[in-house]
Amino acid sequence: MTGDFDLGKGYKLDFHGITVSDDAYLVDYGITEADRLDSTVQITKVQRDTYFSGELTGLHSLREGESNTTQPAALSDVVLHYRFVPSLVGGDGDVEVQSHSLYRPSDVSADTNLDGIADGRDMVRLSVKGNWRRNWTFANGMQLSGGLDGEADFYRIGQDAIYAGHPSRATGTGGLALRWPWVKANAKGSVQVIEPVVQIVSAPNPDTTIPNEDSSLVEFDESNLFGLDRFPGADAFEGGTRMNMGLHYLRTAPAGWTVGATAGRVLRQTDLSQFSGPSGLSGTASDWLVSGSLDRPGDLGLLSRVLLDDDLKLTKAEILFHLTRPKVNVVGGYRAIQADTTERRSEDVRELVLDSTYDV
């Protein structure tokens, strides 16, 4: 069941719902291979400088051996985001107020199923966030980028023998990045850009008094090599002082082809043991990140990335591609990922995926 409505004054209502009386029904009849079903009701309003969203989600697991009493069965999220230009310091600013809650049907406050989470843990969080970004460009082409992030979080945690209570915290992160793009163009219209980047980031030491529900899966790739915080959610933040360094390359051709590459790593002042070894971010020096891409819009795309330790031993590897022709579409990829108990992956993963369609 799905639906969407225009409520007027810029508000939109969207919902979708799915339920089954037989857990094997969807797979047996080839409807979907989803093993966790979500039903959602959402109201949104989007304007030039503001965004509002209110969402209620129900979850039901079909996975064998996974109990719906110890998994979050209901979640709610309300977000109000405002963007502005600070008149005194310039640049771009954002302020966000967010509330998040999750509910588990179990009333057991201990971790009896050994998944690292109290069976009945319920949580409510209210967060107030603010950030600021600004760039300065010098006469020689160098660019200095500054960023500040601040956040205050207030929690109510129930049915957890270890974390229950009303913890709160305030954090702040600051960073400066210096980049120097070198550009070369030829008579045929191709343009090449080489850009070395060095960034210094500092934040308080991590807080261990709050359980990590929404940031247990951490990726290290070219999109967050120069991020102020690599944790995807709000329950954990990246602490300590560190230097992110890397090199970007991009070549564009008049025919539409683009070729890109990125290499870099993270150096830390102190190892705060925030990340697992297989994440590629542990220790005082991260693994080397190397990525490359080849793209022609609407035709061909190739993306690859690897994480290598100092001995050039592979930590993670990923290759994705798509090929589009008038009648044929092919997508696929290969992934190799080390086992990681913090991500509940007890064995190494080697996965090859291929999918294609033909228009008859």
65 contact partners, CB below 8 Å, separation of at least 6: none
Residue with structure tokens 């959602």?
A: 40
Distance between CA 168 and CA 156 in Å, rounded? 9
In contact, 75 and 102? CB cutoff 8 Å: yes
pLDDT of residue 342: 84
In contact, 36 and 62? CB cutoff 8 Å: yes
247 contact partners, CB below 8 Å, separation of at least 6: 194, 195, 196, 197, 262, 263, 264
Distance between CA 142 and CA 140 in Å, rounded? 6
Q: Which helix (H) or strand (E) holds 200?
A: strand 191-203
Of the pLDDT bands very low, low, confident and very high (cuts 50, 70, 90), residue 290 is very high
Distance between CA 91 and CA 47 in Å, rounded? 20
Calculate mean pLDDT across residues 183-193: 91
Q: Please state, rounded to an integer, the average pLDDT across all residues of the chain.
A: 93
Distances (CA, A) of 158 to 71, 103, 110: 15, 10, 11
Of the pLDDT bands very low, low, confident and very high (cuts 50, 70, 90), residue 106 is very high
Amino acid 30 reads G
DSSP string over 274-311: -S-GGGT--SSBPPEEEEEEEEETTTEEEEEEEEE-TT
pLDDT of residue 341: 86
CA 165 to chain centre: 28
Calculate mean pLDDT across residues 196-217: 92
Residue of 246, 260, 330, 337 whose CA lies nearest to 291: 260
Residue of 131, 169, 134 whose CA lies nearest to 149: 131
Q: What global pTM score does this model have?
A: 0.86
pLDDT tens by residue, 311-331: 999 999 999 999 999 999 999
Calculate mean pLDDT across residues 176-201: 95
Of the pLDDT bands very low, low, confident and very high (cuts 50, 70, 90), residue 29 is confident
Reduce the DSSP state of residue 110 to 3 states and report it.
coil
316 contact partners, CB below 8 Å, separation of at least 6: 278, 280, 305, 306, 307, 335, 336, 337, 338
In contact, 282 and 265? CB cutoff 8 Å: no
CA 73 to chain centre: 22
* Beta-bridge partner residues of 201: 175, 242
**Could you tell me the two tokens for 342?**
């913090």
Residue of 59, 61, 72, 53 whose CA lies nearest to 14: 53
Distances (CA, A) of 353 to 221, 330, 335, 350: 20, 11, 9, 10
Residue of 225, 302, 298, 236 whose CA lies nearest to 264: 225
CA 48 to chain centre: 24
Instruction: State the Cα angle at 280 between 278 and 281, rounded to 5°.
Output: 120
pLDDT tens by residue, 110-150: 999 888 899 999 999 999 999 999 999 999 999 999 999 99
Q: What is the dihedral sign for C-alpha 241, 289, 321, 298?
A: positive
